[in-house]
Structure formats: C-alpha cells, structure tokens
Amino acid sequence: MGKIVAANWKMNLKRQGARELAAALARDGRQAWLFPAAVHLVEVAEAIKGGKLQLGAQDVSPDRDGAFTGDLSAEMLADAGASLVLAGHSERRQGHGESSGLIARKLKRALQGGLSPLLCVGETRAEREMGHAAAIVGQQLSVLSELSPTQRTQVAAVAYEPVWAIGTGLNATAKQADEMHREVKSKLKSLGMEKTPVLYGGSVKADNCAELLACPNVDGLLVGGASLTYESLAAIDDAARK
Ligand code: PEP
C-alpha cells in the first residue's frame, strides 16, 4: 500500500515536459498525486488516463462563475481532469495575501464543484522561534470547522509544510515533523477527521525522505522542487512504497 506522494510542480515545466514526466510515472503504474500548472491539466490528464495517478490543480476560485478575470472555477478544473486541489499553500497565503476566510471559501467551493482539497498549513521561522508553531497550525486548521461533517470527510489530506522549510533546503527533522503531525492529528480527530491523511512538505528530497516516511504520524509527502524530474520523484515514490 505505502504512503502518499504528492508532487507540486508549481509554476514549472512546459507542456511537453509535464506530459513526459506524467507519462513516465504512469508507465510505472505509480499512484502519486500530481499538481501541474492549470494550463497543463488537460495534457497531463490524457497522459495518465487509465492509470493510478491522480491529478490536482494548484488553486481554485472561491466563486462559481462570472466576472472573475483570470480565475478558474472548481467545475472548470474538474472538467480539465482534476479531482484534487491545493488550498492554503504558504506561497498563496504569503504571495497572494490569502486569508483564512478566503481559504475556507475555496475549500467549500472546491468540494461543491467536485474537487477534493488538500489543505496546507505551517508556521514561519519567527513563529516557531517564539514557540507559537502549534498554535498557528491549530488556527490554520480551524477553517475546517466551517465545513459540514460530510464535507470534512471529503478533504483529501492536510499537509504540514513549515514555511521555513519550503524551497529552502532546510527540512524539518523527523522528530519535529512527527511531533507536529501528532498535534495536527489530534485537532483533526476533534473535527471528526481522524481518517484524513497528514502529509509532510518542505525540502523533501530523495536523500531525506526515508526518515520522514518512517515517522508513524507522517502519512505521506508533499514534494515541490524534488518532484520536477523523473529520477528524483520516482526515488521518493519508491521509498514511500517500502
Ligand atoms: C511545496 O511547495 O509544497 C514544497 C514542499 O516545496 P519544496 O519541496 O520545494 O520545499
């Protein structure tokens, strides 16, 4: 069975690169979750057809349709082949000023439009140094209380991604990750979400994934930079199958 591996390709790759990477993973019969750029969804959906890989979008509009220039609705993303969507990624919280209120709207809209969200949470370095990491992550998880009990069970996963570890080469230690995942799981349990997988994300690479995967409270990995080449992503996925 193994653990979940989710690949966030962010604003990387071109159509051909995304298609070839997805096709190579599909040929191996892999089960990872792929989050390509929205303009590559259709192409990647085609490349992974009939296999076990799952496809997700990196963002979704909080609105259903209408005059929202540049936005993509959950229905459009599902129609392009996505079944998953990221919400609350720190690059959107920080770079696009996304608030908890907006993230809650996106979660609800995703679910109404047929997408299962993967909610990302995580503290900054300053918040960790002040001893506030668990409180911040707890606050970020509170958006889940705005979902109905049924909607909560449709959330694909929560990813703990300390902001100080994303794209920095500094990953959380296995102990730090496991401790926070325990906190996250306890909060999820109080929301009736004890079955929701909790992934770790932040500078995961082929050479540090084994110790993170070995943590009992880590149900999988969300991988950014190291998911952009076949060799690296396949090595992480192989480790997650052991
Ligand atoms: C991410 O952005 O979700 C992520 C985990 O990035 P990286 O692996 O590059 O730190």
Q: What is the pLDDT of residues 163-199, one digit of tens each?
A: 999 989 988 999 999 999 999 999 999 999 999 999 9
Choice from 5, 9, 10 to test ligand 1 binding pocket (greatest atom count within 8 A of CB): 10
Instruction: Give CA–CA dist 76/139, Å, rounded.
Output: 30
**CB atoms inside a 10 Å sphere around CB 6:** 25
What are the structural domains, with CATH classification, of the chain?
Answer: 4-241 (3.20.20.70)
User: Distances in Å between the alpha carbon of 153 and those of 45, 103, 145, 150?
Assistant: 25, 17, 12, 5
Instruction: Give CA–CA dist 228/93, Å, rounded.
Output: 23
Indicate the burial class of 16 (C-beta count within 10 angstroms; 0-12, 13-18, 19 or more).
exposed
Q: Give the orientation angle of helix 41-48 with respect to helix 15-27, to 10 degrees.
A: 20
Phi, psi of 176 (to 5 degrees): -60, -45
Query: Which residue CA neighbors atom 6 of ligand 1 most closely?
Result: 224
Instruction: Quote the ligand 1 centre to 209 CA distance (angstroms).
Output: 13
Residues with CB under 6 A from ligand 1: 8, 161, 166-167, 201-204, 222-226
What is the atom index within ligand 1 of the atom nearest the CA of 165? Answer: 10
pLDDT tens digits along 114-144: 999 999 999 999 999 999 999 999 999 999 9
Strand partners, 117: 85
Per-residue pLDDT at 62? 98
What is the atom index within ligand 1 of the atom nearest the CA of 86? Answer: 3
pLDDT tens digits along 80-99: 999 999 999 999 999 999 99
Averaged over 211-238, what is the pLDDT? Answer: 98
Residue 228 has pLDDT above 70, yes or no: yes
pLDDT tens digits along 8-65: 999 999 999 999 999 999 999 999 999 999 999 999 999 999 999 999 999 999 999 9
Per-residue pLDDT at 171? 86
Reported as a pLDDT band with limits 50, 70 and 90, residue 1 is: low
User: pTM surpassing 0.85?
Assistant: yes
**165: number of CA atoms within 13 Å, CB side?**
23
Instruction: Quote the ligand 1 centre to 67 CA distance (angstroms).
Output: 32
Tell me the torsion sign for CA atoms 171, 156, 127, 213.
negative
